[in-house]
Structure 1
Amino acid sequence: MEKFKQLKDLIAAAEEDAAKFYEKSNGAAGTRLRKAMMDIKNAAQEIRNQVTEVKNKEK
């Protein structure tokens, strides 16, 4: 569950840059947003792998 909380924190942290990029066309915020989205993708993949591992242990 800790990984899921970390994922939620990453999304919350990216929200400000998303607003700056989409509402004010701030290019630097777009770069930070792209990096944050990559971190979010990697965190989500870790959760997927963890869920699969736990599921397979139950069998």
Structure 2
Amino acid sequence: MEKFSKLKELVASVEADVEKFYNANNGAAGTRVRKAMQDLKVLAQEIRTEVTEKKNAK
């Protein structure tokens, strides 16, 4: 559950940069969005692995 909470916090924290990139055409915000999306991808994979392990342990 802790990793899922981190995932939600990360999505919330990048929201302002997403708006800056898409609405104000701010290139630097786009870079921050790309980094956050990569972090989300890594975290999501960790959650998937954890869920699989827990499911298979039963």
What range describes the TM-score normalised by the shorter chain of this pair? over 0.9
Q: Which runs of 5+ in 1 are unaligned?
A: none
Task: Find the counterpart in structure 2 of residue 24 from structure 1.
Answer: 24
| TM-score, normalised via structure 1 length | 0.96
Task: Find the counterpart in structure 2 of residue 6 from structure 1.
Answer: 6
Report the alpha carbon displacement of residue 18 of structure 1 after superposing the two structures with TM.
Answer: 0.2
Output one character per residue of 1:1-46: Cα deviation in whole Å (capped at 9) or x when no partner: 0010000001001101000000000000000000000000101000
Tell me the C-alpha RMSD between the 2 structures. 0.4
Task: Find the counterpart in structure 1 of residue 43 from structure 2.
Answer: 43
How many residues align? The count is 58
Percent identical residues: 62
| TM-score, normalised via structure 2 length | 0.98
Q: Which runs of 5+ in 2 are unaligned?
A: none
**Which portions of structure 1, spanning 4 or more consecutive aligned residues, are displaced by more than 3 angstroms?**
none
